[in-house]
Structure 1
Amino acid sequence: MFEKYIQNKIIPVVVVENEEEIRNIAELCLEFLPSIELTLRTEYGYKALEILAKDYPTLPRAAATVLSTEQVDRILDLGTNLIISPGFQPIMLEYAKTKKYNYIPGAATPSEVEQCLAYGHKYIKFFHAGLFGGINWIKNIAPVYQHTGVKFMPLGGVSIDNVKEYLENKHVFACGGSWLCPRNLMEEKNWKEIRKRFEEASKLIKELNK
C-alpha cells in the first residue's frame, strides 16, 4: 500500500468529525484521487480509520498528525501501517525503525532533513511549505540532497493555483491537498464544491501525465 500511496501526485488531506464525512470523502478519493491522508486532530479520526480499513481496504491511506508512539500503536491496531507526522521527534524515528511500519516524517530545515535521512527515511513531508519558502525552498534546498534519493511532499499553502509548479519539480513525489475538502466546506455540507475541487485536481494530474 505504501508504494501505491506515494505514486499519487495529489493526496487529499482530511479532517473528519462524522461518518457522513469520511464516507463521502472516501468515495471522492476512489473516483478522482485514489489515496487519503486522514489527520488525527479529532477523536473521530480513529473511528474513521476503522471504517477505511473495513469498507475501503483498497484505498491507500495514511494516518497523519501523529505525535506519539502511543498513537502509533493504536493506529497499527486499527489496520493502518502508513503514518505521517507534521514534524518528527527522535523517538518517533527510532520507533518506526523498531516496529517496521511505513513512516513519513516532516521536515523544514536541512538539519531535520539530515536526521530523517540518517534513519533511512527518503520520503519526507515538507511542512509548512507556505511558511518555509514554498517552491523556492524545494528549488534551493532539495538539490543539495538529490544524491541521497530523497523526495518531498509539500503541504501547507499548496493550492490548485500553485500545485502544478510543485509537481513539475523532480524533487517532489506528491503534494498534500488540504484545499480539496477544508473544514468550512464540510461543515456547510457543500459537497458540490468539494467534488469540483477533486475533479479539478484529477484533471490537472491527467494533463501532467500526458
Structure 2
Amino acid sequence: MQWQTNLPLIAILRGITPDEAIAHVGAVLDAGFDAVEIPLNSPEWEKSIPAVVQVYGDRALIGAGTVLKPEQVDQLAQMGCKLIVTPNIQPEVIRRAVSYGMTVCPGCATASEAFNALEAGAQALKIFPSSAFGPAYIKALKAVLPPEIPVFAVGGVTPENLGQWLDAGCVGAGLGSDLYRAGQTVERTAQQATAFVKAYQEAAK
C-alpha cells in the first residue's frame, strides 16, 4: 500500500490556535509538505481544523491527531478531515475512520498492537514514541509486518536523524516539536519545514 501523499512527512502542529493555523499550515505546504495534523489537545481545534480544511483541503491531506474516541471521528468527518492519527490502538476509532474513507495512521509500539491496528483496517502505522525504541527496534518490528504497510517514526525525529529512521525501514515520519512549537513564528515554522524536506530528499536518494 502506497502512502497517498507525495512527501511521506506529516506536520504535527500541536498547540496551534485558530488565529495562527492558516499561516503556519501555509508555511509547511509551501515548503513541500502535503500532510498536516492538528492534534485534538490543541486550543479550539474545532475552529482550526475546519478552517484549514476549507483553505487547503484540495492541496493536502488535512486531519487530526490525538484522536481517542469514535464520536470524535464522527465530528471530524463532518469537518471534512481526511487523516486520523492516534497515539494508541483503539480498534473502534480505526474502524469508524475507515468507514468514512479516511486515512488512518494509529500509534503503536509492539507487534501485537500493530497487527490489531491492521486488523481494524489501518492503512499505515506510526511507531510512537520512536526515540524511546530507536531505529534498531523499528527495523526488527518491520521484519514481521506486511512489507506494503507504510510505517512512520514519530517522537524525537529531527532533520539531523531523519535518515536513520528511513534506513530502518520507515517510509517517513511525523514531525512534532522539532517542526512546530506553540507560539513560534511563521518564519521559524517555514525554516524547520524546509530543513525537514531537504533532509528527506537527501536521505531518500
TM-score range, shorter chain: 0.7 to 0.9
Contact 1:39 1:45 in 2 (8 A): yes
Deviation at 1:112, TM superposition (A): 0.5
* Aligned length, in residue pairs: 201
Amino acid at match of 1:177: L
Q: Deviations over 1:43-72 (max 9, x none)?
A: 411211111121112222121110001110
Contact 2:94 2:121 in 1 (8 A): no
**TM-score (structure 2 length as normaliser):** 0.87
Distance of aligned partners of 1:15 and 1:97 in 2 relative to their CA distance in 1, 3 Å threshold = closer
Unaligned runs of at least 5 residues, structure 2: none
Contact 2:10 2:175 in 1 (8 A): yes
Structure 1 partner of 2:134: 134
Structure 2 partner of 1:27: 26
Structure 2 partner of 1:61: 62
* Matched residue SS, 1:94: helix
Q: How does 1:16-165 map to 2 (within 5 A)?
A: 16-32=15-31, 33-57=33-57, 58-131=59-132, 133-147=133-147, 149-165=148-164
Distance of aligned partners of 1:53 and 1:97 in 2 relative to their CA distance in 1, 3 Å threshold = closer
Deviation at 1:87, TM superposition (A): 0.8
Distance 1:91 1:108 in 2: 18
Deviation at 1:9, TM superposition (A): 2.7
Q: 2:189 matched to 1:190?
A: no
Identity of aligned residues (%): 23
* Matched residue SS, 1:87: coil
Distance 2:43 2:138 in 1: 34
Structure 2 partner of 1:200: 195
Distance 1:107 1:3 in 2: 18
Distance 1:13 1:76 in 2: 19
Amino acid at match of 1:18: T
**TM-score (structure 1 length as normaliser):** 0.85
* Matched residue SS, 2:10: strand
Deviation at 1:207, TM superposition (A): 2.2
Contact 1:9 1:173 in 2 (8 A): yes
Amino acid at match of 2:30: E
Contact 2:95 2:121 in 1 (8 A): no
Deviation at 1:100, TM superposition (A): 4.1
Range moving further from structure 2, 99-108 or 156-165: 99-108
Bigger Rg over Cα: 1
Unaligned runs of at least 5 residues, structure 1: none
Distance 2:99 2:146 in 1: 27
Distance 1:93 1:41 in 2: 19
Deviation at 1:209, TM superposition (A): 4.7
Structure 2 partner of 1:180: 179
Distance 1:101 1:36 in 2: 14
Contact 2:10 2:35 in 1 (8 A): yes
Distance 2:145 2:16 in 1: 39
Q: Deviations over 1:58-104 (max 9, x none)?
A: 22212111000111011001011321111121322332454443222
Contact 2:82 2:101 in 1 (8 A): no
Contact 1:104 1:124 in 2 (8 A): yes
C-alpha root-mean-square deviation of aligned residues, in Å? 2.2
